[in-house]
Every structure is written in structure tokens, then in C-alpha cells.
Amino acid sequence: MIAVDTNLLVYAHRRDSPWHERANSALTRLAEGPHRWALPWQVIHEFFGIVTHPRIYSPPSTTQQAIAQLDAWLEAPTVELIGEDSGYWKVLRLQLERGHIAGPRVHDARIAAICLYHGVTELWTADRDFTRFPSLSVRNPLAEP
């Protein structure tokens, strides 16, 4: 199962992004494809916070635009929302230790741990920080022709 990180969602949503077309194409392939794919809850939260933030985008996406975009992705019959439950701590702890995580990098560790806990085989992201978690296969679909 493939999971998608925040940056790809933001680029696919924001038409003013230089990576909009590639990110939108990658997400469309997932959403319309036959295979299961995942969105971690943290990614949903972060996407909403970024695209509606007036200091990041001028103009920012409206609440209604961000919700409509999320609803469109979540209507895909193959998407699965993934998050924490009682067994998650053991996986997170291992990622924190192995990745020598401190401070704000815990956010990426949370996403990596949730992906690993739920059996994600590949995380699609443009964020190179995920290489700190060698147990998780990472791919940047924007870097492909």
C-alpha cells in the first residue's frame, strides 16, 4: 500500500505550485487506480493548516476549498485513513531511537511510524527527511519523468 505525504497533497491542490501538474497527476492515478492507498490523519491536518494559512499563501485556500479537496480525495474507493492506536507506540519508539529524532522532527517520525504500523510499503513524498527512517521505502513521484 502507498501512503501520501502532505507536500504532494498541497502541490496537487494549489494550482500556483510549480509542481501542481505532476502532483495532481500522481494523486489522480492513485485515486482512480485499483490499488489501496493511504492518508495518515496527521497529513490531513497538516494539509488543511498549510493551504488555509494566510502567511503561506496569498490568497490562501478557503476553508470550503480545502474541505472540498479533502472530500474529493476521501471519496476514492481505494483510499484508507490511517492513524494511531494502542500498538503504535512500539513502532514510534523504534523510529525515534533509530532516527535519532528530537524536537520538531517528531512529526515526520509519527508519519513514518503510522505508515509502518499499517503496512505501508511506500511513502510518496518530496521531503528528503524521511530517509532518516530506512524501514520505510520512500519515493518522490515528482522526480520521475
* pLDDT value for 144: 76
pLDDT given for residue 97 in this prediction:
93
The three cell numbers locating residue 116: 509502518
Question: Domains of the chain, with CATH numbers?
Answer: 4-143 (3.40.50.1010)
Instruction: Classify the C-alpha dihedral 127-11-30-74 as positive or negative.
Output: positive
pLDDT bin (cut points 50, 70, 90) of residue 145 is low
Helix axes 106-117, 88-98, angle to 10 degrees: 130
Taking Cα atoms as reference points, which of 108, 117, 40 lies closest to residue 74? Answer: 40
**pTM of the prediction?**
0.93
